[in-house]
């Protein structure tokens, strides 16, 4: 009897410890409202209400505004990109995202094919994922072992924030809000016209690239299994993938039956003004993002046979109004 | 490997698992291997020093007891010379050579971690065998297991073979009650270290990094905070060492008994770093004559002991001054004791009154804080500057804003309940009922343990944004 009581006490204390620890970790985690990893906001979207999901790196969340894509195509979407999102993380993002949504199309920005095993943002990329098999798998496949403890028990990563966390942050963490920009990060500044150059560090001659090809195949298979159209694309940027690497990727994608769209060849079509539409060498500012997103919307509408031209969905009309206000197109 | 590193938990689990699960005859060997492995984490290149001290003291004690070549004292002296010679070569060579030849750059040997502690353990063993307080240990594994006992290896308490070796030879079955008490003691130590001491460390480091950049008030706060930090840091280490040993069913001597609740510096030294103070009393102060040769000689003996104690802490003038000041306090305290007593009688101040005790405790704490300034400062010049800076509060004002800026507001607020808990622990210790003995079993015990761990994880100073903080006494 005494032994049972002791075991019950141990279990109760362990549960209390874990519950309070996880709650504290979740409350202290910085609120994420831009720059990708938008899981809390994504999970606020109505189930099965999205047609397109966008994955990839900052070149997605800075360049693709789902509201403008919707305005051109009627396709409702959400950007589930993350800073320097590596291919294994993309794979588990896709799986996790499809737990609550049934998209027709997944757009994957494919520069991640040339990323290293570990990039610079593993911690936020995985920390904001909901707890579950996909998060644990992403951790095992794509996180530096030194980060595992904090990814398993986030309080270890965020405990020191108790000295400056605000009441607003606590409220936002307790009840995350939906994102009116649907995962898009709006950048206003413009840089001088960037001169295109090739990023020599991006190469297809590495083991990591071969591993990334396997992850791409897994994404393709997963999409095929769920009847999702997978479109891989290379985002427009002045910082280009070297021609040999690009050619290898094009061949490898074609061999695997994956459409690859190099958007850099369509810049004039988009109407990009090099003096006004770039935030930096890699990303569009809001003006460039609008042009690119509307072009992408038209492309998707053509490709899917969508009626295009937005619609009467009040949520998306509101989102379009919000982004236009924030972009300074209309008065708030 | 620090006690606060997650790897220590894994290491300890393996060590304890082997200790309890292996056959009795293999356990001491397992404990020795655990000690060696633990030391290798601190630096495998220092292992020869540890094993060398163990081998020399083991053989010297055997030789002394057997009176090889008809000599006893010779072997003990040889053993002591070898052990203390190693300590001198590693720790003091540069310091003393610098005194003899000012400006000469002599690089001593690198200081093996914990050498000051285990070499004193070995010396105590040699002298005890010489004095026939215990027989020389025949089993080299047992003796090495004592000297390399990992919970106390790097920062004490200074081990005594006469207390430890008999325990090693007894059979050890796992005792759940002792295991639980040890775990709670360990968790309490981790809490004191990571939540209290290291938080104060942030404040102290910020002020001492550039004393001229903060106000006199801030420096005063930092000096007071350091007095508390070093106590909590070292007491936390001792708690974790004693807790670890307790979980293995072994008893290690207590190292602190609420020292800051002392009414005199002399009383403080009976309660601070007890294992080292006892060592100096038994093996230095009493052989020097103790208090048996008149007041002047007693005073001289006290000064010698504390100067040596200062040097034990580090080969620097700051430590010598720290030790000498502590010795001086005690000499002056003894000399003025009758006068102070008659003053209290004249003004009818009750000797045992709460107010008298409180005032004496505060005065003692302030006197000690002055000595800790020398202990903490990187040089005598800095220490003197800090003291001047504090004294100039009268002219320049306290500078409360500068003091407040040493820590974020929420950390200041956290310190209030945390330090209150630590004071409550000390009051409990003085009353003979330390906090960890008062927690019952069942839900209360596990609840307290879970709360301590949660508080450590949430409020502890660790991880990104903080420099990993070693225990202060690791460097000695």
Considering only alpha carbons, which residue of chain A is nearest residue B466? A160
Q: Rounded distance, CA B306 to CA B46, Å?
A: 29
Q: How far apart are CA B269 and CA B276, in angstroms?
A: 10
Which of B 396-425 lie inside 8 A of A, CB atoms? 408, 410-411
3-state secondary structure of A199: coil
Nearest to B156 by CA among B270, B245, B28, B25: B245
Tokens encoding A114: 């040339």
Give contacts of A24 with chain B, Cβ < 8 Å.
Answer: 454, 457-458
The residue count for chain B: 476
H or E segment and range at residue B72: none
| Residues of A (161-180) whose Cβ lies below 8 Å from B | 162-164
CA–CA distance, B319 with B324 (Å, rounded to integer):
8
Structure tokens at B378: 């990187």
pLDDT tens digits, one per residue of A289-324: 999 999 999 999 988 877 666 667 899 999 999 999
The answer to whether B449 contacts chain A (CB < 8 Å) is yes
C-alpha R_g of chain B: 23
Distance of CA A60 to the CA centre of its chain: 7
The CA distance from A84 to the nearest CA of chain B, in Å, is: 21
Could B442 and A5 be called an inter-chain contact, meaning their C-beta atoms sit closer than 8 Å? yes
Whole-number Å distance between alpha carbons of B78 and B122: 13
How many whole angstroms separate alpha carbon B200 and alpha carbon B376?
13
Q: Which of A14, A153, A163 sits opposite B410 (nearest CB)?
A: A163
CA A266 to chain centre: 23
B460 CB neighbours in chain A (<8 A) are 159
Q: Is B446 on the interface with A (CB under 8 A)?
A: yes
C-alpha B192/C-alpha B205 separation (Å) is: 18
* Percentages of chain B per state (helix, strand, coil), in multiples of 5: 75, 0, 25
Whole-number pLDDT of residue B24 = 84
> Domain boundaries in chain B?
6-173, 178-475
- Cβ–Cβ under 8 Å, residues A324 and A304: no
Task: Look at residue A206 in the predicted model and tell me its pLDDT.
Answer: 84
pTM: predicted TM-score of the whole model, two decimal places:
0.83
pLDDT at A309: 62
With contact defined as beta carbons under 8 Å apart, do A47 and A175 qualify?
Answer: no
pLDDT at B110: 85
Q: What is the pLDDT of residue B469?
A: 61
Spans of chain B below 70 pLDDT? 104-106, 436, 465-476
- Which pLDDT score is estimated for A219? 97
Which residue ranges in chain A fall short of pLDDT 70? Answer: 1, 307-311, 330-332
DSSP calls for B31-43: HHHHHHHHHHHH-
- Cβ neighbours of residue B444 closer than 8 Å, sequence gap 6 or more: none
Residues 348-377 on B with a CB inside 8 Å of A are none
Give the DSSP H/E element, type plus range, for residue B453: helix B442-459
Quick one: which H or E segment has residue B65? helix B47-66
How far is Cα of residue B91 from the mean position of the Cα atoms in its chain? 18
Q: What is the pLDDT of residues B146-201, one digit of tens each?
A: 999 999 998 879 989 999 999 998 888 888 888 889 999 999 999 999 999 999 99
CB pairs under 8 A between A and B: 59
Helix (H) or strand (E) holding A54: strand A52-55
The contacts of residue B335 (CB under 8 Å, 6+ apart) are B295, B299
Query: For the complex shown, is ipTM > 0.90?
Result: no
Pick from A5, A156, A163: CB nearest B463:
A156
Task: Answer whether B5 touches A (CB < 8 Å).
Answer: no
A225-255 per-residue burial string, b: 16 or more CB within 10 A, e: under 16: eeebbbbbbbbbbbbbbbeebbebbeebbee
B157 cis-preceded (ω within 30 degrees of 0): yes
CA distance B424 to chain A (A): 24
Q: Which residues of B are catalytic?
A: 313
pLDDT per residue as tens digits for the range B451-466? 999 999 999 998 776 6
Domain architecture of chain A: domains with CATH = 34-145+179-326 (3.40.50.1110)
Q: What gap in Å lies between CA B387 and CA B324, rounded to an integer?
A: 17
Give dist(CA B344, CA B356) in Å, integer. Answer: 9
Q: How far apart are CA A102 and CA A123, in angstroms?
A: 27
The DSSP output letter for B281 is: I
């Amino acid at each position: 009897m005494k032994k049972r009581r002791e075991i019950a006490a141990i279990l109760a204390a362990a549960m209390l410890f874990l519950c309070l620890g996880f709650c504290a970790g979740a409350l202290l985690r910085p609120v994420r409202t831009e720059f990708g990893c938008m899981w809390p906001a994504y999970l606020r979207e109505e189930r099965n209400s999205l047609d397109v999901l966008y994955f990839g790196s900052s070149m997605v969340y800075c360049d693709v505004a789902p509201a403008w894509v919707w305005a051109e195509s009627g396709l409702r979407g959400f950007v589930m990109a993350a800073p320097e999102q590596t291919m294994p993380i993309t794979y588990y993002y896709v799986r996790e995202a499809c737990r609550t949504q049934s998209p027709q199309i997944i757009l994957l920005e494919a520069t991640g094919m040339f990323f290293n095993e570990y990039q610079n943002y593993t911690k936020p990329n995985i920390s904001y994922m909901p707890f579950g098999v996909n998060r644990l798998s992403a951790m095992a496949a794509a996180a530096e072992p030194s980060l595992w403890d904090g990814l398993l028990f986030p309080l270890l990563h965020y405990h020191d924030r108790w000295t400056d966390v605000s009441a607003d942050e606590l409220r936002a963490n307790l009840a995350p809000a939906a994102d009116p920009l649907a995962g898009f990060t709006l950048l206003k500044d413009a840089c001088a016209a960037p001169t295109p150059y090739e990023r020599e560090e991006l190469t297809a001659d590495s083991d990591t690239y071969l591993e990334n090809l396997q992850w791409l195949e897994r994404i393709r298979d997963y999409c095929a299994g769920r009847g999702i159209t997978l479109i891989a694309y290379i985002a427009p940027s002045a910082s280009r993938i070297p021609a040999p690497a690009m050619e290898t990727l094009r061949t490898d994608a074609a061999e695997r039956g994956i459409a690859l769209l190099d958007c850099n060849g369509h810049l004039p079509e988009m109407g990009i003004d090099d003096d006004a539409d770039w935030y930096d060498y890699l990303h569009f500012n809001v003006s460039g993002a609008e042009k690119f997103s509307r072009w992408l919307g038209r492309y998707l509408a053509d490709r899917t046979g969508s009626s295009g031209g937005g619609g009467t969905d009040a949520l998306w009309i509101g989102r379009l109004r919000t982004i236009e206000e924030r972009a300074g197109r209309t008065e708030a | 490997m620090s006690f606060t590193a997650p790897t220590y938990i894994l290491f300890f689990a393996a060590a304890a698992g082997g200790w309890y699960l292996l056959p009795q005859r293999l356990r001491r060997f397992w404990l020795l291997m655990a000690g060696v492995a633990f030391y290798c984490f601190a630096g495998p290149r220092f292992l020869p020093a540890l094993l060398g001290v163990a081998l020399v003291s083991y053989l010297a004690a055997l030789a002394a007891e057997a009176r090889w070549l008809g000599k006893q004292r010779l072997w003990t002296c040889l053993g002591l010379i070898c052990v203390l010679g190693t300590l001198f070569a590693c720790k003091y060579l540069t310091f003393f050579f610098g005194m003899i030849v000012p400006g000469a750059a002599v690089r001593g040997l690198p200081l093996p971690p914990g050498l000051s502690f285990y070499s004193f353990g070995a010396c105590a063993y040699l002298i005890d065998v010489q004095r026939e307080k215990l027989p020389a240990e025949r089993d080299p594994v047992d003796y090495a297991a004592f000297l390399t006992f990992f919970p106390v290896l790097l920062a004490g308490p200074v081990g005594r073979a006469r207390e430890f070796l008999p325990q090693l030879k007894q059979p050890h079955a796992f005792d759940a009650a002792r295991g639980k008490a040890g775990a709670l003691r360990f968790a309490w130590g981790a809490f004191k270290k990571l939540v209290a001491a290291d938080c104060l460390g942030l404040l102290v480091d910020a002020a001492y990094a550039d004393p001229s950049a903060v106000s006199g008030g801030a420096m005063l706060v930092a000096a007071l905070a350091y007095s508390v930090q070093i106590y909590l840091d070292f007491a936390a280490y001792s708690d974790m060492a004693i807790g670890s040993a307790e979980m293995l069913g072994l008893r290690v001597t207590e190292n602190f008994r609420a020292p800051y609740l002392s009414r005199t510096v002399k009383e403080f030294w009976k309660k601070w770093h007890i294992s080292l103070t006892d060592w100096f009393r038994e093996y230095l102060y009493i052989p020097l004559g103790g208090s048996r040769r008149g007041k002047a000689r007693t005073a001289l003996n006290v000064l010698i002991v504390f100067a040596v104690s200062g040097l034990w802490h580090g080969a620097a003038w700051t430590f010598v001054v720290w030790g000498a000041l502590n010795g001086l306090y005690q000499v002056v305290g003894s000399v003025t004791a009758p006068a102070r007593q008659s003053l209290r009688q004249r003004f009818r101040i009750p000797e045992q009154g709460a107010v008298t005790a409180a005032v004496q405790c505060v005065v003692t704490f302030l006197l000690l804080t002055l000595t800790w300034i020398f202990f903490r400062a990187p040089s005598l010049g800095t220490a003197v500057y800090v003291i001047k800076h504090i004294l100039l509060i009268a002219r320049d004002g306290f500078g409360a804003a500068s003091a407040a800026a040493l820590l974020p507001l929420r950390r200041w607020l956290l310190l209030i309940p945390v330090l209150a808990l630590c004071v409550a622990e000390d009051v409990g210790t003085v009353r003979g009922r330390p906090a960890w003995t008062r927690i019952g079993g069942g839900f209360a015990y596990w609840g307290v343990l879970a709360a301590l761990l949660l508080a450590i994880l949430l409020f502890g100073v660790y991880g990104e944004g903080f420099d990993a903080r070693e225990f202060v006494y690791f460097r000695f």
